[in-house]
Structure 1
Amino acid sequence: MPPASSDRFILLPSTYLPSRDPTSTVTLQSLIDVSDRIQDDARETLPFKFDECSYGKGHLRQSVWSCIDCGGKGVCYGCSISCHGEHKLVELWTKRSFRCDCPTTSMQPEPPAGNQVKRRRCALYPPEIQPQSPNHKNKYTHNFEGEFCRCGRDYNAETEEEAMLSCLGCEDWFHESCLNLLLPASIKSEAITEQLPTPVTASSQPLGEPVPASSAPSVDAQAAEEEDDDDERVLIPSDTYDSLICSACVRSNPFMKSQAGKGGWMMIEPSSSGSWEVIGKSVTGSDSQIVDEMKNGKRALQEDEADAHAKKIKLDDATVKASSGEEISDWKWQGKGDVFLSHGIREKLKTQLDESTIASLPFPLEDGDIYEPARDEQEDQTTEEVMTQALSNLPRVQTIEALHGYQRLKNRLSEMLAERAADGRSVSKEDIDEIFEQLRSGQQV
């Protein structure tokens, strides 16, 4: 049972009250509600312990943050909080085969000669074996500079409104509009999507988009209607494909280029009407049409010329004109070549391709496990319980002094609140400032 309102320890950010209108009235219940919401958000955002650096575990598929203040290198979950909590961080979500850079020379440069500043150290890795050598196997993209998608736009969780999808190959994130997934508002997509694969269950969803942690479902009717309109404009609904492979990854692999646009390897191409159309919507033919035979240790791939949509797709860059007559910018036109893999394609490739071809693919055929630190056993504790535990770890004298100081402050605040309630008056900022000034000056309150 939660403690009574008068006994609650309320935790609020230092900017909360100063950000409010000085003439507005704040009730105790509203402060409790804000405090509870902040604690819930913190438990959801930071559910794991952050007392260990993952460097010692080697290259993992794990959540990664780029520290802009430390040269754009990547750090693990624990180091993002314990070592770089006050730095400018960019959340990159999961990255495959990545090792934390925090205890390496990449993030611990040698101070200039004569400089008395100590070399920084990872707070979670044994200091006697720091710094470690750079992680040469790590891959660093423009994401580590805070840029995402082929448009190079910065991602801001507080302001970003457009859904984004992650490429299964390079793991960059792309806006739906930059993938040509969204039709102009004046065009409906019913005719284009009517022959798409049947949607699968939610458990087989493709890679998700980054969503602000603070966002909540809108109950506004107009917003819901606009969201429905966006869904109608999506050329390939998210539940009809397994993964996105961006055009750069497609171009990097001969096998991928030979399959782009065939059944199950969907692409979005400009149509003669000036709009866009989806090709390769359904998987047709037998497996032998994808891989014919083994020759000299390698499988020879055959083109299915009988299918108009299975012809080799031009993947070279070009400049075209939209229906409005405006030229589409270069980065926009690179969307010609993005592939949306239908469900089951990766599973089939396991039996259709030899080991060398599988190794050359820019994406894995199986999703590896994501490393997660141990869950924080204190995540369900209340603020009062955390404070009590923290006090219990202090020396006895300091604990007694802290408790006495807290009790004096609580008693005086309770008296003042009772006086104001009896007179029907509100508590002003000046009243609180006066009490704290008396406490700081050592006066009896």
Structure 2
Amino acid sequence: MSESSTLASVLESQASLLQEASLALPHQFSQCTYPNGPIRQAVYLCLTCTSPASSTTQPRGICSACSIACHTDHEQLELFPKRRFRCDCPTHGLTEACTLHAKEEPVNQANEYGPNFRAVFCRCGRKYDANKERETMIQCLQCEDWFHESCLNLRERPPSREPTPEAQEPPASDGASDASSSGLPPPLVTAEDYDALICSACVRKVHAVERIAGMPGAIMVVRSSDGEPWRAIGQQEVIVVDEKDTSTANGHPGVTATTTPTESTGEKRGRSASVDQEPTAKRARVSPTPEGADYIDAGCSCSAPPRDRRVQNLFKKLHTPNEGVSQEEISESYQGLGDVFLIDGWRDRWCSCGACAESLKDRSYLVEEEDTYEPPEDPDSGLSLEELGMRALQRLPREQALNGIMAFNAMRDDLMQHLRPFAERGEEVPESAIRAFFNARIQELEAKRR
């Protein structure tokens, strides 16, 4: 604030601050989520209460309400949503007493504390610093870890880890934000190109995902050799199926393939005219036989289409270590290969064969979109200070409310008397004069308390 300010500018600034606060914190933070049990919710790591660098200290996580009500003055790191997590604030695991949950609870045994709870993110293990990180980090849908775009082979690693410029907008959404907002060129696969990421380690654990990797709708980033540029394969190829047409295309009845390629180097393609002018009797499907495809298992009953040979060979090497080479060493050699970016509508395209269905059975979040807990809306959010003051007065006992009104009127009269000389001289009231008035009143109140 400048040395002198007009009343209108002060009121305008106050209204702007209230609006920003209501947008940033629109919820109530008066209830710890511990009674809700293990749920998917936003989790925070309290760096003051736990030491992520220590190998002997068990990391703990707290809910959004406790991060504000119980750990306000502590240094915290936002971990974003975590699945099947129960707040640790009211448990014996943290020494700081929970102010929202009166009963002290036993330590949560079912919580999983991955590397993120030690402030370690991505397969590279680089220490995360929100003030210096230039790259966007993308969350894996399954393990919920976060990965740099360069570690996903979507871009070259930035030469400098300088702080991100201030004039940038926050990410559009969790888990899939566009890094071009951080002052870097667009990545090979942008946020508009996909809906969810599943990292390579998680892909190899789920047969249904590995089976469609690199196919249209399940984008992968590959290259033929170390000297070749990275390329995206599996970007959606639009195919039109006319249910009334009995003719054949590529050996499939009623299928007309467009010439849109399924492999690109990251440049955005325009939409096919056949999509924009598609009649209601037609529907879109993905190509059943992309170029260079092959089956992974002879006689496999899986209804997923044949797979690109490059992808087939990659997963074969990841699953079958060479003699004398451990699985960990193989994974390290192929670090960043095998990540899959699923496009919109991917949950409707799973194969229903026994092997695929079995791999999805205990992973409901791959079949149906899961709910993420949010605190209840705050009815006071967006109200002005005057409205909040009146609401607070209405909640007080009558005697206390009257005493509060009398004290307010007395302060108002004293302030008017303090400002009257400036009005009589036609002078602008400086900020120092306002501060001097309220400092004097604070000293009087402290003297009365003593």
TM-score by length of 2: 0.66
The aligned amino acid for 1:380 is G
* C-alpha contact (below 8 Å) 2:178/2:191 kept by paired residues: no
Give yes or no for the alignment of 1:423 onto 2:391: no
Distance 1:438 1:336, change over 3 A: closer
The aligned amino acid for 1:432 is R
**What do residues 291-346 of structure 1 show as CA deviations (whole Å, max 9, x unaligned)?**
98999xxx6799947x44443315659xxxxxxxxxxxx98972222211233333
Give yes or no for the alignment of 1:174 onto 2:143: no
Residues 254-263 or 73-82, more deviating: 254-263
Note the 1:41-440 alignment, pairs <5 A. 41-71=20-50, 72-108=59-95, 120-125=96-101, 127=102, 130-153=103-126, 160-182=133-155, 207-209=175-177, 230=184, 233-253=186-206, 256-257=209-210, 259-272=212-225, 273-281=227-235, 282=262, 283-285=286-288, 304=306, 307-313=308-314, 334-349=335-350, 351-354=352-355, 355-359=357-361, 364-421=366-423, 422-429=425-432, 432-433=435-436, 436-437=439-440, 440=443
**What do residues 97-135 of structure 1 show as CA deviations (whole Å, max 9, x unaligned)?**
111122222225xxxxxxxxxxx542222x3xx332222
The unaligned stretches of length 5 or more in structure 1 are 1-16, 109-119, 186-203, 212-225, 318-329
Give the secondary structure class of the aligned counterpart of 2:35: helix
Give yes or no for the alignment of 1:27 onto 2:14: no
**What do residues 194-224 of structure 1 show as CA deviations (whole Å, max 9, x unaligned)?**
xxxxxxxxxx98843499xxxxxxxxxxxxx
* C-alpha contact (below 8 Å) 1:246/1:338 kept by paired residues: yes
Distance 1:344 1:417, change over 3 A: same
The aligned amino acid for 2:60 is K
Inter-partner Cα distance in structure 1 for 2:134 and 2:82 = 23
The unaligned stretches of length 5 or more in structure 2 are 51-58, 159-171, 236-261, 263-285, 320-330
Give the secondary structure class of the aligned counterpart of 1:40: helix
Give the CA RMSD over aligned residues: 4.1
The aligned amino acid for 1:414 is M
Residues 239-248 or 412-421, more deviating: 412-421
**What do residues 216-236 of structure 1 show as CA deviations (whole Å, max 9, x unaligned)?**
xxxxxxxxxx759856x3212
Deviation at residue 244 of structure 1 after TM alignment: 0.6
Inter-partner Cα distance in structure 2 for 1:152 and 1:75 = 23
TM-score by length of 1: 0.67
Deviation at residue 148 of structure 1 after TM alignment: 3.0
Inter-partner Cα distance in structure 2 for 1:205 and 1:403 = 45
Deviation at residue 253 of structure 1 after TM alignment: 4.5
Deviation at residue 434 of structure 1 after TM alignment: 5.0
Give yes or no for the alignment of 1:37 onto 2:16: yes
Distance 1:357 1:434, change over 3 A: closer
Inter-partner Cα distance in structure 2 for 1:300 and 1:438 = 78
Inter-partner Cα distance in structure 2 for 1:209 and 1:103 = 34
Deviation at residue 144 of structure 1 after TM alignment: 2.3
Inter-partner Cα distance in structure 2 for 1:358 and 1:312 = 24
Distance 1:357 1:78, change over 3 A: same
Inter-partner Cα distance in structure 2 for 1:134 and 1:266 = 41
* C-alpha contact (below 8 Å) 1:206/1:239 kept by paired residues: no
Distance 1:105 1:313, change over 3 A: same
* C-alpha contact (below 8 Å) 1:244/1:339 kept by paired residues: yes
